Structure 1
Amino acid sequence: MAVTDIGAAGAHAPALTEAELLRYREDGCTVVRGLFGHDEVDRLCDEFAALHAAGRAVPGHFEPRAGDDPLHRFPRVMQPHEFLPQARRTLLDARLRGVLEALFGEEVLAAQSMFYFKPPGARGQALHQDDFYLRVEPGTCVAAWLACDRIDRDNGGLEVVPGSHRTGLFCPEEADESLSFAREYVPPPAGLAAAPVDMAPGDVLFFDGHLVHGSQPNLSGDRFRRSFIAHYVGRSAERIGRYYRTLSMSGDRVPLPESEGAGPCGTEFAPRGPH
């Protein structure tokens, strides 16, 4: 998979070259190294650490519970930009906007944010396609996946299937519950294979909403694999699932009509007992 080295913390919003855009169109994904500074990543993570330390649920966003499953104690945070200031600033960051507008070729709208703690021992998320959940019409979404830790195969880093974005949306199979917290699984299309993406804090992976991607469990003994994920759509999008409350990159609400069949990113298995 190609890696694009553009942008730096504090720089003006970067743009992609024609060669980089062609590579993105071919693979369906590209990494921008060091787009955010380590200090910015630390401030973002501190906000989520404080949320977890407070020990209270935010209904519809963050609902930790007791249990042996690490994902019970450290569940993902859904739409944190709606109540956390640093998460909102990250979602609407001008550097992300610069890359996204180059990818879409038009103005973009922010549709969703998420934060994954992924502690040691946590299950991953089976290979899937994001637009299966967002149901953007017409077109698709683009994800901006910000690494908040050093991420590799040992702690459950992301895997992508380059080129799979050109094969359309698939009807998922059921995932292996022992490896994935989400039910849906999309096998790599014929002739294509999953490849790991190693990342450092501040790197951002941009990928097409039809790209097949996922992650394995965190097998490290003591390393979290924290990440902030945001989804965006082009301004020409006409419909999106009702869960996704679209905003302009200046933060104004821009409601879109609802599409059918959408849901949160990854339908979770029912809570499990001790394991």
Structure 2
Amino acid sequence: MIQITAKSKVSFRTDSEAALASYLESGFHVEPDVLTPSQCDELLLAAQNLPSYQNGTLVPVMNPHQVEPLFLNALRNCAIVQIVEKLVSGPVNGLQMQFFFGRPGTPGFTMHQDNFYVQSKQDAFASAWVALADVSPENGGLVVYPGTHREPVLPTEVVEQSDNLGQDPNANRQQVVLPKSYEPVDVSVTKGSVVFIHGHIVHKSHNNSTTDKFRQALLMLYVRKGEPFRPGFGNKRSEIEVYG
């Protein structure tokens, strides 16, 4: 499998035109060192106030900013918002956040497209996946399928449920049916890096097969202002102001 690291991609910080062209070609972009280690540590400390940390289940927490306001600062991070604006060609609203503890033994997500759930326009929606720890295939790194962002929302098939210890119950109930062969790419990133994900790119994550390495991450969803989206039932997506 092809390996991608934060240092093997162009950066919006040094060449925004090349970085945007790379994203439009592949459907994802890795931007290194967006958050400092101390900013990551502040979010990890705030995560100790979240309910699944308090009760010991360590399952992902939807919209953690509703419990711990510090997460709203991450959603409004100027560097992240400015990059997303370029990706979707306009000002944006936040939509949703999810914090992942990624304890050792946590199973990964099956292949999916984020816009299967959000149902916005193909070019109007993108996600920012913030690594709050060093991430590799061994501890639950992402796998992306470059080029699939040009596909429509694809059909899915039900898969046999595996152990969901520490995972979102919807993580592996179904998976995308790829219409043709695409080459998977492993994405290894350092703490503080952000993986920007097109709403239609097919991606999944590895199991955390380690015995001692957590893979904490914060997923943040954005939509171009004025565009429709599906609020959902359990997720309760709503527009969140990211400016000012």
TM-score, with structure 2 as normaliser: 0.86
Q: How many angstroms does 1:51 deviate by? A: 2.9
Please say which structure displays the higher CA radius of gyration.
1
The answer as to whether partners of 1:161 and 1:194 remain within 8 angstroms in 2 is yes
Relative contact order, higher structure (CA 8 A, sep 6+): 2
**Separation in structure 2 between the aligned mates of residue 174 and residue 160 of structure 1, nearest angstrom:** 20
What does 1:1-275 align with in structure 2 at a 5 Å threshold? 3-7=9-13, 17-51=16-50, 55=54, 73-137=57-121, 139-178=123-162, 181-242=171-232, 243-250=236-243
The answer as to whether partners of 1:125 and 1:179 remain within 8 angstroms in 2 is no
Shift in alpha-carbon separation, 1:17–1:250, aligned structure 2, 3 A: closer
Amino acid corresponding to residue 28 of structure 1 in structure 2: G
Gaps of 5+ in 2: 165-170
The answer as to whether partners of 1:4 and 1:33 remain within 8 angstroms in 2 is no
In structure 1, the partner of 2:167 is none
**Separation in structure 2 between the aligned mates of residue 93 and residue 211 of structure 1, nearest angstrom:** 23
Shift in alpha-carbon separation, 1:138–1:3, aligned structure 2, 3 A: closer
SS at match of 1:90: helix
Q: How many angstroms does 1:175 deviate by? A: 2.8
Comparing 128-137 with 179-188, which one deviates more in the overlay? Answer: 179-188
**Separation in structure 2 between the aligned mates of residue 234 and residue 74 of structure 1, nearest angstrom:** 32
Identity rate, percent: 28
Alpha carbon RMSD of aligned pairs, Å?
Answer: 2.1
Please list the CA deviations of residues 30-80 of structure 1 after superposition, one character each: whole Å capped at 9, or x if unmatched: 000001100000000111124358725xxxxxxx6xxxxxxxx11101011
Gaps of 5+ in 1: 8-13, 57-63, 65-72, 252-275
Please list the CA deviations of residues 177-233 of structure 1 after superposition, one character each: whole Å capped at 9, or x if unmatched: 227743121144413122110011100000101000011211001111110000000
Shift in alpha-carbon separation, 1:167–1:38, aligned structure 2, 3 A: same
**Separation in structure 1 between the aligned mates of residue 123 and residue 89 of structure 2, nearest angstrom:** 12
**Separation in structure 2 between the aligned mates of residue 122 and residue 138 of structure 1, nearest angstrom:** 30
**Separation in structure 1 between the aligned mates of residue 133 and residue 84 of structure 2, nearest angstrom:** 23
Amino acid corresponding to residue 217 of structure 2 in structure 1: S
State the aligned residue count. 229
